[in-house]
Amino acid sequence: MAITSANQLELLQTAEAVAREKMIDPELVVEAMEESLARAAKSRYGAELDIRVSIDRKTGKATFTRVRTVVEDDMIENDRAELNVEDAKDYLDDPKVGDTIVDEVPPVEMGRIAAQSAKQVILQKVREAERDSQYEEFKDRAGTIINGQVKREEYGNVIVDIGRGEAILRRNEKIGRESYRPNDRIRVYIKDVRREVRGPQVFLSRTDPQFMAELFKMEVPEIYDGIIQIKAVARDPGSRAKIAVISNDSSIDPVGACVGMRGSRVQAVVNELQGEKIDIIPWNEDQPTFLVNALQPAEVTKVVLDEEAERIEVVVPEEQLSLAIGRRGQNVRLASQLTGLDIDIMTEAEESARRQAEFEVRTKLFMDTLDLDEFFAQLLVSEGFTSLEEVAYVEVDELLVIDGVDNDTASELQARARDYLEAAAKKALETARELGAEDSLIEFDGLTPQMVEALAKDDVKTLEDFATCADWELAGGWTTVNGERSKDDGVLEPFDVSLEEAQKMVMTARIQLGWVDPAELASEDEESDDVAEEAAEAEA
């Protein structure tokens, strides 16, 4: 194919036709043509030459030029596209490094192979432009629902036509054993939009919890208008789901609004989700109350919340245990996802047995350490005393409320408790020194002799060792791996040292050692406070 006046206008016409068909900018097609013609010219004149092509946007005329760049003598790598300042004087009056010399060269005759290569370049550029166009259109639509048409199924993955290209619904994002035929209409959730070099860029889902939330938004006008908020969603796709809602208008019942007249609204969502059973739960700021609601339809007798460990114990009647756990643990698993807490469910009998075991352990502690008979030790435990420290250092009045305890008895109890604690501290200190604990650690404010002993047993023997510890190594914590939460035991966890207290002690040790400048730390705290205030203002 020769670039002659007969087909100059055809270039522009072809560019416009392709752009119209693919719904992209005609300029991108013309640029692709320029690149393909330049490649063909290089195969004719030599790949080392810097050949460029410019197509006139009005007439379609293609101009072929050879460009040479002026560089320093020792920088010449390609003598066919570069030349030094001295040689450039033959072409320019006052050449400088970086100047270019542009010469027009004759148009090329494109043979069959060159024309095929040019076609591939244009097609590739058009595909890239299509993908950029699709990405720009859908990048802001992630998190919304779209209707599409099934094109085909590949290895269990469904390829969906979404108007401006294709998207993929992966096998694990389908509900149960859903199967689709070509041309079936499908409603899907846009889970993610990524800029990919090859393959689909729009990733769809029907199992994502937010798919159900978006369906409710479409069916319940109050949610769309913001009167009712969806606070949390948990799903076992195709089987069961729980959704927590709250109303900003006290006159509107959030659960009733989501259910609809005779269940019409929730039924529409259930039908779309292949019969998935949905529990609509009123959300509550009080976590134990919210959990009681989340475990419906089971009845809960008692809830004990451990906020630090993000765990919660739930006590239910014996006959309600199977209902609370659900088939294959489904009910408690969904309630756990909804509340973000680990849930331990026990019967009233199990809880009573555990309380009795704790009562016996504490009773034995007071009997052994304070030389008390069983009845008196049980009185102390019944009054809420759980440790020797409480007995030793509480106000005397708190001991006098126990039947049979007068001032002399209370004083004797406290003296025995203090003597035992002092002896235990002395013994722990001796053990710590034997293990190699240094005075810098022993004298550190906030550490008891028993804590120093525990640290020394864990090979933390100096203040430097202590300063290198992470807060969770001292106070313990929780790690989530593959969705399973596991407990990390801390060296000082038996002494009820919180994560914040551990953090503060480690930082104090680092300041004492001169590792951290208190002034810099204060400025960082101020900056973080400012950031937090700005974030709060932005949310408001």
pLDDT band at 104 (very low <50, low <70, confident <90, very high): confident
- Residues 6 or more apart from 72 whose CB is under 8 A from it? 84, 85, 97
Whole-number pLDDT of residue 378: 87
Q: Which residue has the higher pLDDT, 433 or 308?
A: 433
**Cα 388 from Cα 427, distance rounded (Å):** 17
State mean pLDDT over 476-490: 72
Q: Is the pLDDT of residue 11 over 70?
A: no
Whole-number pLDDT of residue 307: 64
Whole-number pLDDT of residue 310: 63
Is-contact 245 254, C-beta < 8 A?
yes
Token pair listed for 140: 């802001």
**Cα 307 from Cα 316, distance rounded (Å):** 20
pTM for this prediction: 0.58
**Cα 398 from Cα 375, distance rounded (Å):** 18
First to last CA, the chain: 65
From the list 511, 533, 532, 537, the residue with the least C-alpha distance to 522 is: 511
∠225-231-237 over CA atoms, to 5°?
105
Q: For the chain, give the percent of residues with pLDDT over 70.
A: 87
**Cα 150 from Cα 187, distance rounded (Å):** 10
Computed over every residue of the chain, the mean pLDDT equals 82
- Residues 6 or more apart from 122 whose CB is under 8 A from it? 18, 29, 32, 33, 36
Whole-number pLDDT of residue 483: 59
Helix, coil or strand: residue 483: coil
Q: Is the pLDDT of residue 75 over 70?
A: yes
Domains, the chain, with CATH or none: 5-127 (3.30.1480.10), 140-207 (2.40.50.140), 436-539 (1.10.150.20)
pLDDT band at 2 (very low <50, low <70, confident <90, very high): very low
pLDDT tens digit sequence for 191-221: 888 877 666 678 899 999 999 999 999 999 9
**Cα 126 from Cα 22, distance rounded (Å):** 8
Whole-number pLDDT of residue 450: 92
The letter for the amino acid at 393 is Y
Q: Is the pLDDT of residue 249 over 80?
A: yes
Q: Which residue has the higher pLDDT, 32 or 510?
A: 510
Number of other residues whose CB lies within 10 A of the CB of residue 124: 13
pLDDT band at 453 (very low <50, low <70, confident <90, very high): very high
State mean pLDDT over 167-190: 87
Token pair listed for 137: 């259109």
Whole-number pLDDT of residue 319: 86
Helix, coil or strand: residue 67: strand
- Residues 6 or more apart from 36 whose CB is under 8 A from it? 117, 118, 119, 120, 121, 122
State the pairing for strand pair 145-154/277-282: unpaired
State the pairing for strand pair 311-316/342-347: parallel
* Helices 209-219 and 264-272: angle between axes, nearest 10 degrees: 140
Burial class (CB in 10 A: 0-12, 13-18, 19+), 448: middle
Alpha helices in 247-345 (DSSP H): 254-259, 264-272, 287-294, 321-325, 330-339
**Cα 498 from Cα 325, distance rounded (Å):** 31
State the pairing for strand pair 157-161/145-154: antiparallel
Q: Which residue has the higher pLDDT, 535 or 115?
A: 115
**Is the bond preceding residue 182 a cis peptide, omega within 30 degrees?**
no
Q: Is the pLDDT of residue 476 over 50?
A: yes
Which residues are 186's β-sheet partners? Answer: 148
Whole-number pLDDT of residue 430: 92
